[in-house]
Structure 1
Amino acid sequence: MKEFSLIFHEEIPKYIQLSDYIKHKIDIGEIKDREKLPTIRALSEMLKVNNVTIVNAYKKLQADGYANMKIGSGTYARRKEVIRSFNKEYNKTFKLLSSGGLREYIDFTGETTSSSFFPVKDLQKVINEVFDRDGAEALLYQDVLGYEKLREEISKRFWKNKYSSEDILIVSGAQQGIDIAAKAILNVNDKVIVERPTYGGAISVFRWKRADILEVPIENDGIDIAILEKILKKQKIKFMYIMSYFQNPTGISYSEEKKKKLIALAEKYDFYILEDDYLSELIYDSNLVYNPLKSYDIYDRVIYIKSFSKIFMPGIRIGYVIIPEVFKDSMYLSKINTDISTSSLMQRALERYIVKGYWRKHIEYLNEKYRSRYTFIKQILERDFKGILEFKEPNGGLSFLLKFSEPEKFNSRKLFFILRDKGVLISPGALFFRKEQEGDKYFRIGFSQTNHEKIKEGLNIILKELSL
């Protein structure tokens, strides 16, 4: 049994001192992740303290995310996860590049629409209209739910008035939606299911909340239901996070069958689903029908998140959440504690933009432009990279996830640094897996920031490196 040696001080409760002592041993690796801690009786005898002190110390460790207490089995250490090394290096690359410097690269990492497609003139018109109509009031804080006319318009245009404006919360983009949902719902050690691989920003939020993150692999039509149900039968899950269309990074869209199954499982096993509706406006295959998971939500189990930023203008930072009744109060409070209110001017401008028909016209324009890039990049991949790279057609969105045909020969993290030095930026698979090495056989290339000329040039550089 591991020896603990601790001298207690009178001014601090003993259980707090013991908890801090064990935390330090876990942080430095002297106590390994998932290592069983001494029994209550054994540790009380070793330190000459009563059992209550040990019990309280272990409870505090669990509350702080440093231990799991399993009834009938004991208490097990849980090491706080550190930020992944490659993630830090990847982010460092973009911090070092100024906006001007980034333009010198062929950027396959972009996840938002190109600035060359921004509807600046139309947006300027509606902003002027807002100021003419509302004056200084356009700059005041809004109700915590957001500008009522925008919420009403969202309900009318996108949901055929299925939801009232009271069900809709305006947020500053999808990332904030994920953040306030996690703050409102999750406690330390709550179990969250995510797709494997998945969006790194969501994992970061759940880690920050000290949740216990469980991964379920994603198949060609959505998450693996068989593996998911095995977990649900054994463990109590608080909620799961999914991207129903053009999942980041795989590009997978969920089948109708799996959407219905997920709703049924959520009701059966009493958990909630955080649906991030990602880039579903960009569908290039007429056989792919748009029906988000929320549209099947007969049990009020889905927290639906939609961002206008990625598809419209990143700088406006607006999205919305449709909230199940049970979480309304807690998510309202979470939003207030985060930033009080999303930009009033931009909310009012977006409402006018949708009402006047500009939104529908802009989405049609983007589909035309990006379908052309999508088809162009797909043709090059099919023609020039056969036997080198494999991929599944996403049929929409702004990126392709590529897999090395011979993964033993390549490593996408190493490829990232090689290509960076040659003026090409890619997103290695390590960014989307909790364990970096699991992503080494994948990398993602996006086409939102690259025109046909840049796509051809960048893929030629990649092909040359992979053919050496």
Structure 2
Amino acid sequence: MPDAPLDRIAPVPELAARAARTGSSPVRDILALTARPEVISFAGGLPAPELFDAEGIATAFQQVLTEAPRRALQYSTSEGDPDLRAAVAARSTARGLPTDPDDLLVTTGSQQGLTLLATALLEPGDVVLVEDPCYLAALQIFSLAGARVVPVPTDDEGIDPSALDEIAAREKPRLLYIVPTFQNPTGRTLSAERRAAVAEVAARRGLWIAEDDPYGELRFEGEPQPWIASFPGAEDRTALLGSFSKVMAPGLRLGTLRAPEALRRACVIAKQAADLHTSTVDQAAAARYLAIADLDAHLARVRGAYRERRDALVDGLAGALPEGSRWNRPAGGMFVWATLPAGYDATALLPKVVRHDVAYVPGAPFFAGRPDPAAMRLSFVTHSPEEIAEGLVRLRKALEEAGGEG
């Protein structure tokens, strides 16, 4: 059959609507903009690389590749390395949530865990409730799943349980996504009373909870709060997402998903379709690291350094931001949430600020509802206190020059 004339060739089909409507992560775009080494960036949530236990992780890799290379380099089960799941289960149980290794699925970062939950739980058009503001990548995941995202108001203490109850009654959601401890982007932590109220609303209104906890072990002060998954009413409807990115190294791309049996099994099937299993050698090395190293001692060093960096940032903001600005003092995690006075637009100001070799993330993209143009997220973990001080000097100069423009 002869080739068709070029003027009769049909156009290439369009992208799926969900792909076309889901934008790139503004944070990733800003990181590309500020990749120059001279930039002091408060934008990325990047753990401090000089604090990685590179020697301990290298030893773990060396041991597993020396002792069992055929197993470490081979295909593995979708559920994950049994030794790694046992170690995570033991740590979860010690932190107050009795967990069996079979309760867990190892994922390629906790980000994949949330994607698997969206695949297993959501049909196009289903309603997902999120904190407002919310973790950006979660908004991307729910958009790609075809869900309708409905924001729940928050205050300085986190999500408002009364508003959650009212919106859940009206919207009939399938899922609530929440980061209750040192939330991204705000750094806020939900009290035990509010956690209990969230669990009660979920049980009474009949919705799943995706509880994301990447920062829980980065507490600098105060008493740890129990997971929502441990409260009455939440036990049979909560998927708890964990991550090694903030406690070991993000380059390993390792996370865990703890969920009730039927949901966990559905996520295993979704994972089989996505990538078969998470990297065998990375899982084996992480399990070995947990067996031979003192992760708690390592975390104590990390928390000490992060506490100093938080203090350097928070204590310096009064001299860097315009009069009338507001910000919080998180008890852990990686982020400070600041709001400039009325008339300032953090998104419009950013290009002018970057010209002074300093950066932040505008707060507006984190909102599923009406954005606050004056809000910004500042990460304190990547730079030393001295670098933070210099970054704040640059930020003050940039904001003084720009004023409330934009």
From 44, 47, 50, the equivalent of 1:110 is 44
Q: Work out whether 1:456 is the aligned partner of 2:389.
A: yes
Name which of structure 1's ranges 128-137 and 248-257 shifts more when overlaid on structure 2: 128-137
Question: 1:314 deviation in Å?
Answer: 1.3
Residue identity opposite 2:63 in structure 1: E
Name which of structure 1's ranges 290-299 and 370-379 shifts more when overlaid on structure 2: 290-299
Q: Give the Cα–Cα distance (whole angstroms) in 1 for the partners of residues 386 and 267 of structure 2.
A: 45
TM-score between both structures, scaled by the size of structure 2? 0.89
Q: CA, structure 1 residues 457+251, in 2 after alignment: closer, same or farther (shift >3 Å)?
A: same
Q: Give the Cα–Cα distance (whole angstroms) in 2 for the partners of residues 231 and 93 of structure 1.
A: 33
Residue identity opposite 2:375 in structure 1: Y
Corresponding residue for residue 415 of structure 1: 349
Question: 1:326 deviation in Å?
Answer: 2.9
Contact conserved, 1:112 with 1:448, CA < 8 A, in 2?
yes
Q: Give the Cα–Cα distance (whole angstroms) in 1 for the partners of residues 86 and 26 of structure 2.
A: 43
Question: 1:400 deviation in Å?
Answer: 0.7
3-state DSSP of counterpart to 2:212: strand
Contact conserved, 1:374 with 1:447, CA < 8 A, in 2?
yes
Corresponding residue for residue 444 of structure 1: 377
Q: Work out whether 1:82 is the aligned partner of 2:21.
A: yes
Question: 1:144 deviation in Å?
Answer: 0.8
Residue identity opposite 1:426 in structure 2: Y
From 228, 246, 271, the equivalent of 1:335 is 271
Residue identity opposite 1:82 in structure 2: R
Residue identity opposite 1:134 in structure 2: A
Q: Give the Cα–Cα distance (whole angstroms) in 2 for the partners of residues 88 and 65 of structure 1.
A: 18
Contact conserved, 2:174 with 2:207, CA < 8 A, in 1?
yes
Q: Give the Cα–Cα distance (whole angstroms) in 1 for the partners of residues 202 and 271 of structure 2.
A: 25
Contact conserved, 1:259 with 1:293, CA < 8 A, in 2?
yes
RCO comparison, higher one (Cα < 8 Å, 6+): 2
TM-score between both structures, scaled by the size of structure 1? 0.77
Contact conserved, 1:111 with 1:310, CA < 8 A, in 2?
no
Question: 1:233 deviation in Å?
Answer: 1.9
Q: CA, structure 1 residues 421+466, in 2 after alignment: closer, same or farther (shift >3 Å)?
A: closer
Q: What does residue range 428-443 of structure 1 map to in structure 2 within 5 Å?
A: 428-434=362-368, 438-443=371-376
Q: CA, structure 1 residues 365+198, in 2 after alignment: closer, same or farther (shift >3 Å)?
A: same
Question: 1:237 deviation in Å?
Answer: 1.1
Question: 1:383 deviation in Å?
Answer: 5.2
Corresponding residue for residue 293 of structure 1: 228
Contact conserved, 2:39 with 2:357, CA < 8 A, in 1?
yes
Structure number with larger C-alpha Rg: 1
Q: CA, structure 1 residues 369+168, in 2 after alignment: closer, same or farther (shift >3 Å)?
A: same
Q: Give the Cα–Cα distance (whole angstroms) in 2 for the partners of residues 119 and 136 of structure 1.
A: 26
Contact conserved, 1:304 with 1:321, CA < 8 A, in 2?
yes
Q: Work out whether 1:138 is the aligned partner of 2:72.
A: yes
Q: Percent identity?
A: 26
Q: Give the Cα–Cα distance (whole angstroms) in 2 for the partners of residues 277 and 451 of structure 1.
A: 25
Q: Give the Cα–Cα distance (whole angstroms) in 2 for the partners of residues 364 and 254 of structure 1.
A: 23
Gaps (5+ residues) in structure 2? 1-13, 402-406
Question: 1:95 deviation in Å?
Answer: 4.0
Contact conserved, 2:179 with 2:211, CA < 8 A, in 1?
yes
**Number of paired residues?**
385
Q: CA, structure 1 residues 421+88, in 2 after alignment: closer, same or farther (shift >3 Å)?
A: farther
